[in-house]
Amino acid sequence: MRGRQSIGWTMLAAALVAAALAPSAAAGGRGGGDRKKPSRVLIIMLDQARPDTIERYGMENVKELMREGASFPNALVGHMAAETVVSHSVITSGLFPKHMGWSNEVHRDVAGVLGAPGDYYVTSSMSCAQFKALIEHGGYKKLPDYLDDRFGAESKFVSIAQKRTAVCPAGPTSSAADGTPTDPEDIILQIRGSSAPSCDGASGWRQPEDANPPAPLYFGLATPCNRWWTWQALGAYGTESILPGRIYPLEGNRFVPGRDPAHLGGDTWSADAAITVIQNDPGWRGMLVSLGGIDKLGHMWGPEDMETGPPGSDQEMRHLPFVAKNADVQVGRIVDALEARGLLDETLIVITADHGAQTGRPFYGRFDGFPPPDGIGCDPATGSTGLRSDCNWYYGRDADEVYLDPSPAIAAFRDALTPPGGATNLRFSYQDAHIAAWLNDNSRAAKRQAAGAALDLPGVIASFYLNRAQDGYRLFATNRMSRAERRWFRRHGDELVDTMAAPYGPDVTALLETDVTYGVMGDHGGHTRLVQNIPMIFSGPGVGSRDSRRQIRLVDVVPTILRAMGIDYEKNDMDGKAVRLPRPHRR
């Protein structure tokens, strides 16, 4: 079982070499002719993976699943904002962000669900309890509810990730949807919980966060310094001083495995948690496992990063080739674990991503930061907190965060919305591979003024403003585009922007040309093909081997899963549409 060799640093390196030479036996070649319906579903999210990521980094276990199952090379995210905090709820609800309760990195709480009506929140900093409150207020069903309908309320849904923005939107459900709250037996576990005492004399240790009632005893979370505690100090592996990654440096072993065999982090941590459930808990029916390493390294260096280093070196650890290969090993290990427990032939495996990414060519954020000499923070003189990347991504303040140290481009945008001697009308903005703005005065005239100012920002090809009904966007104007850019924009621009149109959504949205970013070097969020095109693979019982050119979207995943599993649902309860998966060839 090749995947299981990633227990220590030496063994991990060996596993990576082995995975590069041959696919895991568990990844394919079994169950191809089985026509029965699956009774379990496992979703593996390769955070920020594009279709070319799999080929570029030799992800052989993933490629074998592609060959043995149904692959959709033209799959799209299919919504905006194309980001982790949005997509992980889309994929478990089958709803567009406009119907979900939040639709971007910034949330205007018009209904007062989280506090006073009209308060603002940076969703990347929200708690699981806050996401659960928004889902509860929305009153919609999610994948765990449908599995309960079919297999009984005691069936367990498991959400595992390395960040709260992945696990908290995916796992909680609403009591308003089916009369019962999130089942107490469901597992919602992520690597970054509260600070913990040192396990080795060094600072920066964290224990995991269990966001539902206590996770099963087989995790041993009550034991201090157990396997699930990891070292997560900022600026690890030299990344606090290397451009462009230093504005968003590694946090210890949160997204990379590290070298401590007793506390391996990154995607290995997520896979170990998933395997622990598979080995110990026959009650699970659905599982979402987010592998976040590709996303972190892609943000730091760009999604085409090819730098490597000597085996076991810091240079190797901090770059995409190593981390992507490790993600592939974890896919193989998880599938091996299913086979070892006799569950592979009853499990539908879905491999996809929450978004793609593009590289900043050009990049309109800032690399300079405070405090010196490392320069990885916002300027404290402005009252701002956080890393330089935070102040590139956000402009504004909420109850506990201040980001008033913007890049020159966003400072110009703010100033264009500031009357002489008055206060700016820019209440909050978020910018990555798109630009979103929330206004103090959001009258039609004010929105049109802001849309015009947004059109003047570098790299912008089109700007939109929220309509009076707040359920769609109106195109304000476009700038010059290449022929290919305009063709893609005409086909997808309006429909993607409209998926986040809601009273809580941005008042103004600007789309960027391909390969322009504002937040960090490799970024997400927008409408371009590089951000929208993602892998989409279904493999398991009842699924044949065939590629489809259909542009399946993340919103279509839940209805497609339910159809494959023979679970009834109300089609009008979802924005997504079930896609017919190919049947196996008869033998």
- Are residue 457 and residue 342 in the same domain, yes or no? no
- Are residue 280 and residue 203 in the same domain, yes or no? yes
Q: Which ranges of 195-353 would DSSP assign to H, the alpha helix?
A: 266-280, 293-301, 314-317, 320-340
Q: Is residue 585 part of a domain?
A: no
Q: Is residue 304 part of a domain?
A: yes
Give the distance from CA 66 to its chain's centroid.
Answer: 21
pLDDT value at 347 more than 90: yes
- What one-character DSSP code corresponds to residue 226? -
Q: Is residue 383 part of a domain?
A: no
* Least confident interval from 8-12, 326-330, 358-362: 8-12
- Side chain identity at residue 456, one-letter code: D
* Interatomic CA distance for residues 274 and 382, integer angstroms: 43
pLDDT value at 225 more than 80: yes
- Are residue 422 and residue 539 in the same domain, yes or no? no
pLDDT at 536: 98
Q: Is residue 351 part of a domain?
A: yes
Q: pLDDT, tens digit, for every residue of 411-420?
A: 999 999 999 9
Average pLDDT, integer, range 137-162: 96
* Interatomic CA distance for residues 438 and 431, integer angstroms: 12
pLDDT value at 29 more than 80: no
Give the distance from CA 183 to its chain's centroid.
Answer: 23
At a CB cut-off of 8 Å and minimum separation 6, what does 525 contact? 80, 81, 82, 83, 105, 355, 430, 432, 433, 434, 531
- Are residue 305 and residue 249 in the same domain, yes or no? yes
Per-chain mean pLDDT for the chain: 93
- Are residue 339 and residue 240 in the same domain, yes or no? yes
> CB 531: neighbour CB atoms within 10 A?
31
pLDDT value at 358 more than 80: yes
Instruction: Annotate 349-387 with three-state secondary structure.
Output: EEEECCCCCEECCCECCCCCCECCCCCCECCHHHCCCCE
Q: Is residue 93 part of a domain?
A: yes
- Are residue 467 and residue 539 in the same domain, yes or no? no
- Are residue 23 and residue 123 in the same domain, yes or no? yes
Confidence of residue 8 (pLDDT cuts 50, 70, 90): very low
Look at the chain and report how many structural domains it folds into: 2
Q: pLDDT, tens digit, for every residue of 226-278?
A: 999 999 999 999 999 999 999 999 999 999 999 999 999 999 999 999 999 99
Q: Domain boundary at 511, 530, 549, which? A: 530
- Are residue 458 and residue 541 in the same domain, yes or no? no
pLDDT value at 344 more than 70: yes
Q: Domain boundary at 506, 530, 554, which? A: 530
- Side chain identity at residue 562, one-letter code: L
- Are residue 543 and residue 514 in the same domain, yes or no? no
Q: pLDDT, tens digit, for every residue of 427-438?
A: 999 999 999 999
Peptide bond between residue 244 and the one before it cis (omega within 30 degrees of 0): yes
Peptide bond between residue 310 and the one before it cis (omega within 30 degrees of 0): no
- Are residue 557 and residue 504 in the same domain, yes or no? no
Residue 326's alpha-carbon distances to 24, 66, 271, 301, 349, in angstroms, are: 13, 18, 11, 17, 19
pLDDT at 587: 54
Q: Is residue 587 part of a domain?
A: no
- Are residue 499 and residue 557 in the same domain, yes or no? no
For CA atoms 283, 287, 291, 292, give the dihedral sign: negative
Q: Is residue 580 part of a domain?
A: no
CATH number for position 333: 3.40.720.10
Which structural domain range is residue 352 located in? 2-356+533-573
* Interatomic CA distance for residues 241 and 144, integer angstroms: 43
Give the residues across from 70 on adjacent strands.
Answer: 538, 546
- Are residue 23 and residue 131 in the same domain, yes or no? yes
pLDDT at 176: 82
Q: Is residue 396 part of a domain?
A: no
pLDDT value at 31 more than 80: no
pLDDT value at 22 more than 50: no
pLDDT at 372: 82
